[in-house]
């Protein structure tokens, strides 16, 4: 609580009422929703309870993916961000690769509104639109990136997350693997000849997702990677 009050003192926007903010904190609301934005990869990203609060691991996903993109491609590539939420991944990648074409999709209209606002505020041109995973996708991409919902019922989750962040952004069917199964099964139709698929995963999902990836991409280079806390949090599928 003390740390959160310090956070509010530091980040609450000028003119906002600190005592009202502390009351919201005491009622169990995350500081990021109270402040109304977060810094993600150097960009100010608006958040409310229609979008997941961007996490530091996702900044690592962006960083690692950008290194791979630089190795494999020039700047002007097509990128698809599945489950864009606040738009944080799309906006960070568009800033790193200004000549790329970035599309961000989400099933949630409310999340897409925030993502569009965030693109405007960050002065980047990104095509955000509604799609149920690939249902409205007609293009082909050099890079598909996703931090999809991956929790299964019964997974431990802090009350502050469970009570505030959208369950649509957190939980997935099939023991948390639903999105990985669909993305990996269908991705081939939406990829160019050379490609990168970059996935954030739950810390106990590596083996299951590697198996699915090997099934659909037997000839690609499949790599799992850890986050700064040494947890297995990323899978990359690379076709050179
Ligand atoms: C874990 S959040 C990630 C948000 C953001 N990309 C980030 O990393 O902070 C997953 C996102 O997937 C979206 N989502 C859930 N079901 C979906 C579906 N069937 N098709 C597309 N997006 C979906 C949620 O609305 C949510 O915004």
> What DSSP line would sit under 23-56, residue for residue?
HHHHTT--HHHHH-EEEETTEEEE--TTSPPP-H
| Same structural domain, 114 and 25 | no
Minimum CA distance residue for ligand 1 atom 18: 132
Please tell me the total count of domains within the chain: 2
- pTM, to two decimals: 0.98
| Same structural domain, 23 and 73 | no
| Same structural domain, 216 and 190 | yes
SS3 189: helix
Host domain of residue 14:
1-35
Q: Are 146 and 81 in contact (CB under 8 A)?
A: yes
What pLDDT is recorded for position 197? 98
Q: What is the CATH number of the domain that holds 75?
A: 3.40.50.150
| Same structural domain, 194 and 93 | yes
Separation of 166 CA from ligand 1 center, angstroms? Answer: 10
What pLDDT is recorded for position 32? 98
- Spell out which residues line ligand 1, taking CB within 6 angstroms: 52, 54, 58, 83-86, 88-89, 105-108, 111, 132-133, 147-149, 168-169
Q: For residue 40, tell me if it sits in a domain.
A: no
| Same structural domain, 16 and 104 | no
| Same structural domain, 97 and 210 | yes
Q: Which of 149, 172, 200, 201 to mutate to test the pocket of ligand 1 (most atoms within 8 A of CB)?
A: 149
Which pLDDT tens digit goes with each residue over 115-172? 999 999 999 999 999 999 999 999 999 999 999 999 998 999 999 999 999 999 999 9
Separation of 86 CA from ligand 1 center, angstroms? Answer: 9
Average pLDDT, consecutive stretches of 10 residues, N- to C-terminus, the chain (240 residues): 93 95 97 98 98 98 97 91 98 97 98 98 98 98 98 94 97 98 98 97 97 98 98 97
Rounded to whole angstroms, the Cα distance separating 138 from 103 reads 11
């Amino acid at each position: 609580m003390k740390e959160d009050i310090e956070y509010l003192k530091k980040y609450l926007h000028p003119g906002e009422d600190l005592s009202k903010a502390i009351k919201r904190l005491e009622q169990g609301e995350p500081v990021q929703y109270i402040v109304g934005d977060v810094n993600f990869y150097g960009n100010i990203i608006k958040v409310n309870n229609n979008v997941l609060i961007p996490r530091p691991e996702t900044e690592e996903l962006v960083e690692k993916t950008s290194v791979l993109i630089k190795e494999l491609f020039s700047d002007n590539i097509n990128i698809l961000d599945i489950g864009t939420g606040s738009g944080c991944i799309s906006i960070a990648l568009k800033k790193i690769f200004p000549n790329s074409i970035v599309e961000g999709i989400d099933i949630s209209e409310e999340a897409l509104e925030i993502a569009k606002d965030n693109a405007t505020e960050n002065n980047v041109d990104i095509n955000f639109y509604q799609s149920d995973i690939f249902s409205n996708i007609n293009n082909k991409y050099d890079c598909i990136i996703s931090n999809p919902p991956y929790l299964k019922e019964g997974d431990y989750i802090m009350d502050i997350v469970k009570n505030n962040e959208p369950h649509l952004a957190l939980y997935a069917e099939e023991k948390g693997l639903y999105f990985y199964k669909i993305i990996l099964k269908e991705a081939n139709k939406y990829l160019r000849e050379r490609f990168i698929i970059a996935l954030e995963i739950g810390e106990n999902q590596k083996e299951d997702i590697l198996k699915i990836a090997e099934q659909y991409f037997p000839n690609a280079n499949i790599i799992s990677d850890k986050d700064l806390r040494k947890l297995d949090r990323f899978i990359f599928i690379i076709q050179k």
